[in-house]
A and B are shown apart, each in its own frame.
Chain A
Amino acid sequence: MEHEITLVVNGATRRVEVPARRLLSDCLRHDLGLTGTHVGCEHGVCGCCTVLLDGRPVRSCLTFAVTVDGQEITTVEGLAREGATREGGGSERPSRIHEAEAMDTALSPVQRAFAECHGLQCGFCTPGFLCTVTAFLRENPAPSDDEIVEGIAGNLCRCTGYQNIVKAVHRAAELLAEER
């Protein structure tokens, strides 16, 4: 049996018909075409599929789409825009901000920090890290190394060895502080 549900994904209201067993990860990727959310292990270990549900990071592979009917979801696709909206007031690159197109594609501070610090190599785990770290820094804007390691402990990365990811989280905290 199909269920009609409404999800607010990255600010846009999306109506979709899904069977009850549809995982939120598959709903985002297959039904809504948002393939930025990656699916690794499908049993909650790797953290690649992490998205923000009403602002809090959750595993989309351990959530049924029907359960979150009516709730707000932010995927990695929504982080850039979220960053751009916040940047609107004043940013370190004012010349670019004038262009509407640049607004749409402007990366969020966390995304910029990952790029700057080489916090990714193959990039498969990155959407999960970005969502996790975005929420983590909202709760803890100036974390210590240990707090960062604890904060990202639920996300696996097979390339970087994590050191540059930890650096990127520190850098993102700096960028966010500058914006405030």
Chain B
Amino acid sequence: MKPPPFTYHAPRDVGAALRTLAQVRGKVLAGGQSLIPLMNMRLAAPEHLVDINRIGSLSAVDASPAGVRVGALVRHSDAEHAGAHPLLTRALRLVAHPVIRNRGTVVGSLVHADPAAELPAVLAVLDGTVRVARWDGRAVERDVPAREFFTGPLESAVQPGELAVSAYFPALGPRTGTAFEEVARRHGDYALAGVCAVVTLDDDARVTAARVACVGVGPVPVVVDVTAACEGADGADTDSAGTGGERADRGWADAARAVQEETEPESDVHASAAYRRHLVGVLAERALRNAAREGTAARGA
């Protein structure tokens, strides 16, 4: 359980990191909370490690009314305490344990692209972007939208020689609520299935937009726009028994079914595909209802 030998690089600025990455076939080391276990178990044996922990410029959380940009060195706990984005903050509390979050980074979780991880789903449901840089005589940057960023299980659009320098999470619109619901065998474990939802309502508490992203039920976060299916659903009386309530219940159930149909869970030692499909339906309905309830409250505020 000792990591294999590697050549260590500790650049002090982004330019130096990009030049090193352009020269050697290396892995980037940020928080190391996914990479170092993989190395300890000899599942990964990079020849070169480019440690970005000394690049202070990557530690910034820049919040604006339009959204929040999180630098590659921002630890989970720092982003959580910054509280710059409600859905991001909510999801961060579900990531592993507090001690892991003291070291792990937001951008690192995105680049690691575990299909059961929470943060890729957050980026996906918000239509966020990841800024990726490489060296080509000078630093060249490109912004990759979430739907192109996650390319497969543990695979992202970051190419060899590239460094993900920040991620951008667009702010929520007005009258919008969010929720993140998941089921894990033990608290802090990767979820068997999880759903995060963003729901926007109009002034009469009717749903005008509803999107979910599901984790653990496909090779990448599964994003489903359920606005049409949510017709009739509202945030006002999510549990009431009247006719309006029945219509609302049917709307949420239709939306949950639409989500189930879009997912392709697989069976593994932790759960069968059928169980995951069941979970994603239950969690989708719960997440949508909770997000709508929060959106209603936001509308009143």
Contact = CB atoms under 8 A, between A and B. Distances in A.
Given A58-B102, A62-B36, A63-B103, A19 B96 contact: no
Interface in A126-147: 132, 136
Nearest to A52: B102
B258 interface: no
B103 A23 contact: no
Interface stretch (A39-47, A82-90, A99-107, A172-180): A39-47
Contacts of A1: 7-8
Interface string B210-250: 00000000000000000000000000000000000000000
Size range of the chain B interface in the assembly? 20 to 34
B29 A43 contact: no
A64 B96 contact: no
Contacts of A63: 32, 36, 103
A19 B8 CA distance: 9
Interface residues of A, number: 30
Contacts of B49: 20
Contacts of B39: 21
B99 interface: yes
Contact of B2 (A21, A53, A154): A21
Q: What DSSP secondary structure best describes chain B's contact surface?
A: loop
A66 B97 contact: no
Interface in B247-279: none
B98 A151 contact: yes
- Kindly name the residue among A3, A19, A56, A151 whose own CB sees the greatest number of chain B CB atoms within 10 A: A56
A132 B101 CA distance: 13
Contacts of A19: 5
A20 B187 CA distance: 33
Given A19-B5, A153-B187, A154-B100, A62 B51 contact: no
A155 B186 CA distance: 13
Interface string A48-84: 0010010011110111101100000000000000000
A138 to B, nearest CB: 13
B83 interface: no
Contacts of A44: 33, 36-37, 100
Nearest to B35: A62
Interface string B40-76: 1100000001010100000000000000000000000
A92 interface: no
Given A23-B36, A62-B100, A63-B32, 10 more contacts: A1-B8, A21-B6, A23-B2, A44-B36, A58-B103, A62-B36, A64-B3, A153-B97, A154-B96, A154-B98
For the complex of A and B, 5 pairs with smallest distance between CB atoms: A154-B97, A20-B8, A42-B1, A43-B37, A62-B36
5 contacts: A23-B2, A43-B1, A56-B77, A67-B51, A154-B97
Interface of B: 1-8, 10, 29, 32-33, 36-37, 39-41, 49, 51, 53, 77, 96-100, 102-103, 187-188
